[in-house]
Structure formats: structure tokens, C-alpha cells
Amino acid sequence: MLTIRALAGAGEVPRVEQRPKGAPVEPRWTALTALDPHSNQSEIGAMFGDLYHNRVLELAADIPHLGRLADAQGSSLKVSRVCGSTVEVDVTLDADGRIAEIAVEPKACALGQAATSILTRHAVGRSLAEIESARDALRAMLKDGAEPPDGLFWELRHLQPVRDYPPRHISTMLAFDAAVEAMRKALGVA
């Protein structure tokens, strides 16, 4: 069992850390003002409230299917060059080409972890077309201002405020991009 804690104070960027239950807590803070001493504190506070609201942090703290699959048919590691976030996805497929098992190793910000959580809650039993559709709907919501996805992946709407922060789009997309690539590898589709 993992516990998650979000770390942020006034004017700081929140980070969600996973640690084994019972492990000692060692607070670490990443001050945005250390990166940009001329930053506007009210803008930082607004960004924190918009992007990292309670449901995003809850999702980031509860990611199903953590780990790796020893018998994965397809795997993909996606990396954000902007922030260094990574998400690795392993899948096995059933006879119909749907996800039978999924495992993830996210080393990402709260936004990337929240998206990973939403993906893994609903991925089992989904086809490549369904995962691609969810990925494309997330991308359209972030980049084109489209309405949030509905259906199984409706909770992606909690990431809608990310659209106003383009540098965060990549880390938010990592899990879905990796899942699509892992499924394509498993199906032998380029």
C-alpha cells in the first residue's frame, strides 16, 4: 500500500510523492520563486488552485495497477522533455485485442499521475480504438478547447484547467500516449 502526500506552501509548486506505508516522511519543497524570483505570487496561487484541486490530488494519490507486468505483450515509456515526468505502461491483451491487464510506473507530477489514475481505472476491457478515442478527446480538450470527454473517461474533465498551461500538456498526456503505443506494439500495429 502506498500513501501519497502533496507538498506545497504559498507560492510553491505542489509535488505528489509516493512512499511505502510506514516510511518516514522527509518534507521536501520546490519553491517556484527559487526558479523565478520575479514571479507573481497571486498568479502562482491561482495556478495551484486551478490545476491541483482536491480531486486531482485524490486521483494522483490512488493509482490502480502500479508496477510492471512480467509477461507484457506491449510496453511503452513516454517522457516529457519539459519537466522530466515519465510514465511507463505495460499491457497484455485478450483474444479480441482488448486490454486484459495493465500496469503502470508513473514518475510524474500530480497532473500526470491523475491522468494515469483515470486511465488505469477504466483500461481493462478496452480496445485500441477506445483508448485512442480517450487520448484524442483529452488532447482536444487541452489543445483545442473542446469539451471534456464523457463516458468511461469522464473524470478527465478534472484536468480541464491544464488547457491554460501549455507546458503541462505533455505530462498530462503521457499515460494515454504510452497506453496507445503499448497496445499498438502488442497488436503488431505500427
Are 16 and 61 in contact by the 8 Å Cβ rule? The answer is: yes
Q: Which of the four CATH numbers 3.90.1010.10, 3.40.640.10, 3.30.70.3420, 3.30.70.3170 does domain 74-187 have?
A: 3.90.1010.10
Q: Which pLDDT does position 103 carry in this prediction? A: 98
Which of 32-36, 60-64, 99-103 is least confident? 32-36
Q: Count Cβ atoms below 10 Å from residue 49 Cβ, excluding itself.
A: 10
53 vs 185: which has the higher pLDDT: 185
> How crowded is the C-beta side of 53, counted as CA atoms within 13 Å?
11
Read off the pTM: 0.76
With bands split at pLDDT 50, 70 and 90, how would you rate the model's confidence at 22?
A: low
Write out pLDDT tens, residues 124-161.
Answer: 999 999 999 999 999 999 999 999 999 999 999 999 99
- The structural domains of the chain, with segments of one domain joined by +, span 2-61, 74-187
Q: Which pLDDT does position 114 carry in this prediction? A: 97
Q: What is the mean pLDDT of residues 98-113?
A: 96
Nearest alpha carbon to residue 173 among 144, 140, 130, 127: 140
Q: Count Cβ atoms below 10 Å from residue 2 Cβ, excluding itself.
A: 13
Is pLDDT of 42 > 70? no
Q: Which pLDDT does position 48 carry in this prediction? A: 57
